[in-house]
Structure 1
Amino acid sequence: MAENKSNAKDKETAERISKSLDKEAMYGGHVDLKLYHIPDESIEVKKMTDLDSIIKSSLTNVGISADGNAGGNFLMYNNKVSHRSSAQEGLEIMSVKEAREKYDWLEDYWWKLVSPEADKYTARSYMEDSDGYFIRVLPGTKITSPVQSCLMIGSEEALQTVHNIIIVEEGAELEVVTGCLTHDGVQRALHIGVSEMYVKKNGKLTFSMIHDWDESVEVRPRTGIRIEEGGLMTNNYVCLKPAKSIQTNPSAYLEGEGATAYFNTIAVAHPDSVLDMGSRVFLNASHTKTEIISRTITIGGEVISRGDIIGNAPEVYGHLECNGLVLNENGSQKAIPALEAHAMDVEMTHEAAIGRIARDQVEYLMTRGLDENEATSLIVRGFLSAGIEGIPEILKEDIDDIIKKTADAS
């Protein structure tokens, strides 16, 4: 009888959520889900070193090494898990479906920070019963080597739906580097990535995401983050390669006293691309703190930089900084910062600046022996890195590699 009631409840939930399959997102351009399909193609490897040379080469573009020396690895190809492994004690890495079978309590985390009824992308992910990575660090465990996760689309016109969960237990520490990319030859696809992250009391999570899509790929991440007392979250988002459109606006809820969240975004909008990116932070407990910093460049595409800080408790601090460079007359930049205070004794500030590279700066560097392209590259490098701390070294190398290409294209 209890099982019948459970099935009836699941059916009722699915019917309710299915009504959101036509619900457009609050931000971002329209994407017709009917143009994409769930592919059957998949791969499976026991070790990352078993991957073919083409995939290994592609992974390096998003900061992922296939040499097998990482503290943990997760690879998803299209909509199926290809590999998962953990080399460190106190670190659990498995698929979300495996984790739900193993832990009954995971239902208290699954679809709790991101609503499946938020828009048609979350609804589709729910209806597909999407799989993804489950990464958990046990209490008091400090993971010394970064965990690598890779979400790869390998089929043309594919729809990849992913649902990830990260749990950093009390007093634990974790660094995750996630790379999202398309296989060689895949030009058109849609990625929907739902991620729910939990940082428990005095936990620490550094999460870095690098995108390397083809220029006709649509990307719709949906992320929710909960940080408890004394917890710290640093979120780095890097998108330097072309994509048709990206719309992302993760929400972080700082629920415990002294919780902190840092959001750093570095992005380049190539011709004909639209990047609608931002972050929302809810300061729901006293002495919570957040800083949202974005540095974006357009070399012909459109950039919309959003930022929202909502102060719901006293003695909180928030700073929002949106800076954009226009390096091509066909490009556009728009900054939309927003601050809300619903309590006394809050300190929240924002600044936004959009402009171009000053000619006198280029000319000055040229007098020091640099040619024009070298001078421009140096200025772009300084712009992208200024004010952004905590970027992993592996990402800095990737940023340096793209800077010259960006300067040459301007």
Structure 2
Amino acid sequence: MKNDNQAKNPRLSDYQAGRTNHEYLADLKAINPADADKFLSVGVDASEDFRAGTFIVKDQSVLHSKTKQKGVDIMSITQAKDKFDLSSYLWKGVDPGKDEYTSWAHEQPAEGYFIRSQPGQIIQAPVQSCLYIEKEQFAQNVHNLVIAEEGSHLSIINGCATSPHLISGLHVGITEFYVKKGAVLSFTMIHDWGKEVNVRPRTVGYVEEGGVLISNYISLRPVGSLQMSPTTHLRGKGAVARFNSILVADKGSTLDVGSNVILEAPETKAEIISRAITFGGDILAKGKLVGLVPEVKAHLECKGLILKDGLMLAIPELEAHVPGVEMSHEAAVGKIDNREIEYLMARGLTEEEAVSTIVRGFLNVDIEGLPSGLKQRLDKVISETEKDMF
């Protein structure tokens, strides 16, 4: 990866931190239009149409929080700690001593969301949340807790972005997922940070018997550096985890992204699918599957394209501790095949159109759980990203 250690490991002392005092908005439609546009770029709609609720943090202030559908709780993590006993959840998955960023997050005041679907509730519309940085050179510290109670279904669109004028910032996010027996949680995270923003999410999830966790991660815009490696524990019989990621890195960006699934119970299943493109940046695409018991199935697939000079590392890992596990992996890094380009050009496309068509197909992973409106928005963003590439 890059020799610039400052880019990979930003110094916390270089950033401002602490509470901020942005005015709370009871009506999200009153938001600044420039902010609304950035929210929409990461799937968060200020109109709140077809949303079960909304939660937005701006710098270190709760900007807006609303629950629109019965059966789901949405509030700030500080409110949730006052209202509920969360001692069995908070900091049980993420070790505060894991690294300097988790230690800092543990010691500093944090804001973030608490989202919970109540037992047996099928939440039809997605909940939307946004973690937004406006203040220059600011270190945002959030702690998020998501609980899908037994037999419930919950979908979350989580957008992370910075204001159009912002140049530099730091985001440290602690997120803990708990998927109870027979519950289904679909979580889609979309990043649009900025060329000199450093991002350090730390995420752990637990899935009980018959539960399903679907995690989609999309980063198509420039970012200074991103380092994340979420870990999910499949602890109950028949639990399932599916991870999909789409990564694009332009010059100056460093993306260190991996997913880890630990299969701890019989008949558990896991799938990790990664698509990555570099046109000048560095990408480390990782995935790790750990089988601790017999009768588990898992597959890992990492594919990367290099369009311009950059670095692409694909590192799949399989770790089996007992007989009777069934795990596989596939990894490929390369360039666009000239024969594919020639084939499309022979059918009337220009070279640029041919390459664009191939890139679009490469990024077109069938992401489960995406609302149709968000899928259309992502198609538009992919189209805009292609223009930047060429």
Q: TM-score surpassing 0.5?
A: yes
How do 1:143-158 and structure 2 match up within 5 A? Answer: 143-158=123-138
C-alpha contact (below 8 Å) 2:155/2:369 kept by paired residues: no
Amino acid at match of 2:80: A
Residue of structure 1 equivalent to 2:183: 203
Q: Secondary structure at the match of 1:290?
A: strand
Structure-2 change in CA distance of 1:270 and 1:392 (3 Å): farther
CA displacement, residues 312-369 of structure 1 (integer Å, 9 cap, x when unaligned): 11100110000000000x2110011111011220000001000111111111111212
1:223 aligned onto 2:203: yes
Structure-2 change in CA distance of 1:386 and 1:183 (3 Å): closer
Aligned Cα RMSD in Å?
A: 1.3
Q: Secondary structure at the match of 2:91?
A: coil
CA displacement, residues 298-321 of structure 1 (integer Å, 9 cap, x when unaligned): 010000011110001110011000
Alpha-carbon offset, residue 389 of structure 1: 4.1
Residue of structure 1 equivalent to 2:362: 383
Residue of structure 1 equivalent to 2:120: 140
Alpha-carbon offset, residue 29 of structure 1: 2.2
Alpha-carbon offset, residue 130 of structure 1: 1.1
Whole-angstrom distance in 1 between the partners of 2:355 and 2:380: 14
Residue of structure 1 equivalent to 2:295: 315
Residue of structure 1 equivalent to 2:3: none
Residue of structure 2 equivalent to 1:81: 62
Whole-angstrom distance in 2 between the partners of 1:137 and 1:217: 32
Alpha-carbon offset, residue 53 of structure 1: 1.0
Residue of structure 2 equivalent to 1:97: 78
Structure-2 change in CA distance of 1:384 and 1:294 (3 Å): same
Q: Output the TM-score relative to the length of structure 2.
A: 0.95
Q: Secondary structure at the match of 2:87?
A: helix
Amino acid at match of 2:201: P
Whole-angstrom distance in 2 between the partners of 1:68 and 1:341: 45
CA displacement, residues 352-395 of structure 1 (integer Å, 9 cap, x when unaligned): 00011111111111121222222111111111124654444344
Whole-angstrom distance in 2 between the partners of 1:98 and 1:321: 40
Residue of structure 2 equivalent to 1:126: 106
Whole-angstrom distance in 2 between the partners of 1:208 and 1:387: 13
- Of residues 202, 210, 225, the one that matches 1:245 is 225
Whole-angstrom distance in 2 between the partners of 1:407 and 1:131: 35
Q: How many residues align?
A: 381
Q: Secondary structure at the match of 1:116?
A: coil
Residue of structure 2 equivalent to 1:340: 319
Residue of structure 1 equivalent to 2:170: 190
Unaligned runs of 5+ in 2: 1-6
Whole-angstrom distance in 1 between the partners of 2:21 and 2:342: 53
Amino acid at match of 1:71: A
Q: Output the TM-score relative to the length of structure 1.
A: 0.90
Amino acid at match of 1:48: L
Residue of structure 2 equivalent to 1:404: 383
- Percent identity, please: 45
Whole-angstrom distance in 2 between the partners of 1:211 and 1:120: 23
Residue of structure 2 equivalent to 1:51: 31
Structure-2 change in CA distance of 1:292 and 1:165 (3 Å): same
C-alpha contact (below 8 Å) 1:311/1:342 kept by paired residues: yes
Unaligned runs of 5+ in 1: 1-27
Amino acid at match of 1:252: T
- Of residues 363, 369, 377, the one that matches 2:348 is 369
Amino acid at match of 2:270: T
Stretches of 4+ moved more than 6 A in 1?
A: none
C-alpha contact (below 8 Å) 2:214/2:368 kept by paired residues: no
